[in-house]
Amino acid sequence: MPTNDPTIAWVLDRAANINPHGDATIDLGTGERRDWAEVARRVDGVASGLNSIDLDRGDRVGVLMLNSARHLELWFAIPVAGMVMNDLNFRLATEELRFICDDSQVKLLFVDETFLPVARQLRDSVASIHTLVWVGPGTDAPHDTIAYESMVDTAHVELPELESEDLVAIFYTGGTTGLPKGAMLTHRNLTANALHMGLHARITPIDRYLHAAPQFHLADGALAYALTWAGGTHVFVPAFDPAATIAALADERCTMVLLVPTMISMVLAHGGLADADISSMRVVLYGASPMPGEVQRQALEAFGCGFAQAYGMTEASPLVSWLDEATHERGARGEEPSASRLRSAGVPIVGVRTEIRRPDGSLAEAGEAGEIYIQGPNIMRGYWNREAETAHALVDGWYRSGDVAYADDGGYLYIVDRAKDMIISGGENVYTTEVENAVYHHPSVAEAAVFGIPHDEWGETVHVEVVLKPGAELASDELIESCRERLAGYKLPRSVVIRGAEDPLPKSGAGKILKKDLREPYWEGKDRQVG
């Protein structure tokens, strides 16, 4: 029996109904601009095309593409067709992509020109993949593919009736701890999160959102659905680049952008913001990790607009908590408690509950660290073909995040980190974010990662790896002396690795610095590893 709960189809229908002739997509990679009526027509064509070839309801359909307006169309066309999207992280190695496609039994793969060689390798090595669809302007597709634009022109066929518990997508987690797991997300999950995102980000039809973060990442997807529901405008750059991002914000009068702290640092290091007119900007959304205090101060000044932080995870579709613009504004002025709460991930969003629990399952007190448990309509159905992992993660209606945090007396969440991002040196606790804040005060530093490395006497010592701004020079002892002004002696870095601008720190698909990869060489063969 069909339900009256919203589905992804509702999201696009509303945009086409309330703002049919308003700007829907502006693709700076191709120069194409479309209104919402045209986007809705194109999505119907692709969904009809999917139902006219050798696919069944519930089949998995892969996407391997850079950012583009057509990429956004697929976020609607695939679920509207009654199929399940698997948007692939193109930063993964081919072997990792092969595992994901085989695990989820992808049958058809949408691919753009950039990744066509990889897609052919996947088709030839994954038995389930039988069709490649070439995504780009025009119908002159490579001989072994179907042209996307030909599917756009497919005559309408009757599409399946969607229900809120139908799967929309399988999103694979980063795989930093073993094999990737596919989180199964439903129409209910993703529409709930889109509503939450729209409410907290105060999205309206006049908003113009720049897709600078990769579209394969669910954080961008939550904003994509929320903005579409409001009938706003999507602006696309093919991939993040500081200069292209600044130009797009200015030229297209964007009001919103999602960046992770490392991207913000790169934009600041570029220096182009000072000469760009970005007065249209309303808010910069950021996530993946807290922003170091000095970077935050510089960013608030350089962008001249509001900032808001989102914390979440794939399994929560992804939004869990929100640190609003007002807290950032008051905190930047030094007002308490806002200033202290800038280190937090905010409070749980409307419609979502969180609890901090001890290892025995009891509730932790305010200020006491424990595991975050999450409950709400945004929580995944489970992991694809992973019954044991699903049973471990979903307990009595709650999702066990694996993240360690504490809450203050106002309910603000402070993420200690999945890897317990704390160094214990000589019995003293050193929080890496505190050291990173001090490191970022040096004007030559563009990126920094602080972590503990083994020491025979103290257990661990503080180690920092930094990337310099283009043209900058810095000696290790100079950086340590700079930190001495802001840190107690036991918190000072004892060792420093300095990288040039051409040698960035390793990052996940979400743009988060992979400290695990940096730590591994130091801890190889050791009995204990923090993180």
pLDDT digits (tens, 9 = 90+) for 418-430: 544 678 776 666 7
Q: Is residue 456 very low, low, confident or very high in pLDDT (cuts 50, 70, 90)?
A: confident
Over pLDDT 90: what percentage of the chain?
73
pLDDT for 487 equals 81
pLDDT for 266 equals 87
- Quote the mean pLDDT of the chain: 91
Q: Is residue 458 very low, low, confident or very high in pLDDT (cuts 50, 70, 90)?
A: confident
Amino acid at 54: D
Tell me the domain boundaries of the chain.
Answer: 8-239, 352-415, 422-523
pLDDT for 428 equals 65
pLDDT over 80 at 335, yes or no: yes
- May I ask the CATH class of domain 352-415? mainly beta
Rounded to the nearest 5°, which phi and psi values hold at 57? -55, 135
- The pLDDT of 97-123, averaged and rounded, is 97
- Where does 345-475 have alpha helices with state H? 387-393, 432-440
- The pLDDT of 31-45, averaged and rounded, is 98
pLDDT tens for each residue of 196-245: 999 999 999 999 999 999 999 999 999 999 999 999 999 999 999 999 99
Length of the chain: 531
Question: In terms of CATH architecture, what is 8-239?
Answer: 3-Layer(aba) Sandwich (3.40)
What's the rounded Cα separation, in Å, for the pair 307 and 342? 11
Amino acid at 127: A
Element (H, E) at 520: helix 515-523
* CB count in 10 Å sphere of residue 2: 9
Strand-pairing partners, residue 23, are 35
Please answer whether residues 201 and 223 qualify as being in contact, where contact means their C-beta atoms are separated by less than 8 angstroms. Answer: yes
Q: Which of 75-79, 89-93, 321-325, 444-448 shows the lowest mean pLDDT across its residues?
A: 89-93
CATH number, domain 422-523, options 3.40.50.10860, 3.40.50.300, 3.30.300.30, 1.10.8.50? 3.30.300.30
Q: 43 CB contacts (<8 Å, ≥6 apart)?
A: 12, 73, 76, 77, 80
* CB count in 10 Å sphere of residue 363: 11
Strand-pairing partners, residue 311, are 321
What's the rounded Cα separation, in Å, for the pair 102 and 201? 37
Please answer whether residues 88 and 63 qualify as being in contact, where contact means their C-beta atoms are separated by less than 8 angstroms. Answer: yes
What's the rounded Cα separation, in Å, for the pair 214 and 230? 21
Q: 312 CB contacts (<8 Å, ≥6 apart)?
A: 219, 287, 318, 319, 320, 321
Residue with tokens 């992280």: 89
For residue 146, give the nearest of 30, 44, 53 by alpha carbon.
53
Give the Cα-Cα-Cα angle 39, 158, 191 (nearest 5 degrees): 55
